[in-house]
Chain A
């Protein structure tokens, strides 16, 4: 029997010097859903992703991915379990080429010995080319990532995640800081890649959210304010008051 949820966040709490950035939060992610998280600045959206992917240590609660407790795992172990994370500011390896950036994320040769003996064969090369086509960078494989535009770096980072083929993909403001043309292309790209996997997206662009979301969660002061379809949360008086009504 298939599980109802692939990710179960329960009673998750983190406090920074007494300030609770995430406070007793519950969140359930179903297989193949695109779950968008919205909320005003400081609502704890990015912190929530940081907690799930192991970047920040939680003060309490539990994050279960299938049956694995992510809170007690290292970042790289969480990645191996099948959770990928894209950061808000594009973080790619500037000193390496686009090809090398993708190659480093190809899920093979993770150990020291594996990395020493890693050989890039035709299968890997084929996969890298395939991903590069998806992210519109097929002509820039030998270019250093430092020379890419902001939007291209965002795409490259998405590509770095795609090549790992994660079961759960977490995207933090994937279209922020992009030009209108880039935005459109990215929306297209995201719509293509969010099929066949679960995705958590943080986004401010409401038009974009309506476009992709299967479910929306509104965070406010580290807690869930409202959850449901876009239509539902848009008409929730609590949400209108703290967020959409501004």
Chain B
């Protein structure tokens, strides 16, 4: 495949600008603390990109993306927690060598399903595999029975609620409502230092670009066109000879994999994972990131995640009680006035203006040259 068939110049320009923002502008403009905050925002962009694929293109609205984000994050947190719980570090516990919250809950041995998370390779695998496996099961159960639309959204939301309750209820195994905290090192590398956080920011950015390229490839493939066809005419796609359910399951799993990677990067950069990131509210917020960015645009989804989270931090620092109203108002505004979000404003309003200006200045330059010749 040639580059030009993979990406038009306009698309390449969009990716370049985003790369400049993430790898140059933000690192140069922000101190290490703020940069780490933006790194955290960018982990939500993984989820938003997935949503742009299966909600924007495929028309499947999931209100439970926090589940996959959380599962990815927990898989990473379990590995980091085990590494932090060496017998020396936990010598004061009644059972040294197990995570502290287990000890507090009178658990005396590491549960068997925690054991594999001693291996970094397994943890990395699980970060993607666990969310994908759950998404596959949900997809198989829902899409082959042709559950869709609002019903699917409600069911995913219920799953988000169930997982939160499960994590909080099984405190001894999951850290309960506090989550898994006090994570220190990754393979002996202290992830709490400023230098480490800056490095992780760039790793996160690179991974996000890898995810964006995968998403872009899918969008450009026939599968991308099929998704758009399915969104508008699901019945017709079946009579074009496609098994609609298998495509929906696939794209839902892709979204879950993206979210899982984002969750793992969240754990690494923020240093904990808790059920507050899994439940209904964060899941809905993730949909809002995508909606604000423009649900049809994968680049827009990244800007949406950045902007809404930045607004959230800024607003809730000064007016904590106002943020939820702000978020609600934002969502209504986007749905009512800008259904295609930031990306829509750009491509419908700003870009034509720029093109017009550009063309006019070209005309201005060429016009006088032509005049004397006549």
Give A contacts to B, CB under 8 Å.
Answer: 53, 55, 74-76, 79-80, 84-85, 87, 91-96, 100, 103-105, 107, 109-112, 115-119, 160, 164
Contact = CB atoms under 8 A, between A and B. Distances in A.
A20 B1 CA distance: 55
Contacts of B223: 112, 115-116, 118
- Assign chain B's interface to a size class: 20 to 34
Interface in B231-261: 231-233, 235-244, 246-247, 250
A116 B215 CA distance: 11
B128 to A, nearest CB: 17
Contacts of A117: 221
B239 A85 contact: yes
Contacts, number: 80
A96 B222 contact: no
Contacts of B161: none
Contacts of B233: 91-94
Contact of B246 (A93, A100, A104, A111): A111
A91 B235 contact: yes
Contact of A55 (B1, B228, B235): B235
Contacts of A94: 232-233
Given A76-B242, A107-B241, A109-B222, 17 more contacts: A76-B238, A79-B239, A79-B241, A80-B241, A87-B236, A91-B235, A93-B228, A94-B233, A100-B225, A103-B225, A104-B222, A104-B229, A104-B237, A110-B242, A112-B250, A115-B242, A164-B241
Contacts of B221: 115-118
B350 to A, nearest CB: 23
Contacts of B238: 74-76, 79
B154 interface: no
21 contacts: A53-B239, A74-B238, A76-B239, A80-B241, A85-B239, A91-B236, A92-B233, A92-B236, A93-B229, A93-B232, A95-B232, A104-B222, A104-B225, A104-B229, A109-B222, A110-B243, A115-B222, A115-B247, A116-B218, A116-B222, A164-B241
A104 B241 CA distance: 9
A30 B222 CA distance: 36
B226 interface: yes
Nearest to B144: A74
A111 B228 CA distance: 16
A104 B240 contact: yes
Residue with the greatest number of chain A CB neighbours at <10 A, chosen from B221, B237, B239, B246? B239
Contacts of A80: 241
A95 B228 contact: yes
Contact of A96 (B229, B247, B250): B229
Residue with the greatest number of chain A CB neighbours at <10 A, chosen from B221, B226, B242, B246? B242
A23 to B, nearest CB: 25
